[in-house]
Amino acid sequence: MRYLVRHGLTGLSLRPLAKAVGASPRVLLYYFGSKEKMVVEVLAEVRQRQRASYAGVKAASFAEECRRVWKQMSADDSEPLFRLFFEAYGMALRRPGVYKEFLRATIEDWLQLIAEPLCRKGHTRRSARAFATVVLDGLRGFMLDYCTTHDRKRVDRAVDLWLGALDAMRPERKEA
């Protein structure tokens, strides 16, 4: 995982990876079956840890939780993870068969994480998921920008603007 996060997927090769982790290509293939399966497994594990690290973020208001999430996302040590993530995203879109589970989980898991509390508060599933989409896709877009430009001031200002408007987008409750 560490090697993948650091070196990425572009041009990833078994032999250097094996050497770096003190193994041989033979062993990697023995346990993972193929290079691609190995990548898929590593991505799944990284994803799971990522989700766990954000699931614990709690705050008084929803916007405040988002703010904290953004703070964690845009912290320096998160960037390699997101670089790997966006890299995997590009490959996954090109090879949906191989990365099917990555593509599913990369949206669906987070949507559920965000939408579920709203559903429990009485919002319809549909509107909760639409709102969760705004949140998830917004943060992803900001992160893509930040990884590209490292223009923290501008992106942070944008996130502030966006956060300020988030409450107005909160879904209506179901009519009781």
Partner DNA sequence: TTGTTCTTGAAACGAATGTTTCAAGAATAG
Partner DNA sequence: CTATTCTTGAAACATTCGTTTCAAGAACAA
Q: What are the residues binding DNA (CB under 7 A)?
A: 11-16, 23-27, 29-31, 34-36
Q: Nearest approach, Cβ of 140 to DNA (angstroms)?
A: 28
Residue number with CB closer to DNA (13 or 53): 13
Residue 71 identity (one-letter amino acid)? K
**Which sign does the torsion angle of CA 127, 130, 134, 139 carry?**
positive
User: By the 8 A CB rule, do 88 and 47 touch?
Assistant: no
By a kind-dependent CB cut-off of 5 to 8 A, residue 81 interacts, out of its own copies, DNA, none, with: none
Q: How many CA atoms lie within 13 A of 171 on its CB side?
A: 25
Question: What is the pattern of x (binds its own copies, CB under 8 A) and - over residues 7-46?
Answer: -xxx------------------------------------
User: By the 8 A CB rule, do 155 and 145 touch?
Assistant: yes
By a kind-dependent CB cut-off of 5 to 8 A, residue 59 interacts, out of its own copies, DNA, none, with: none
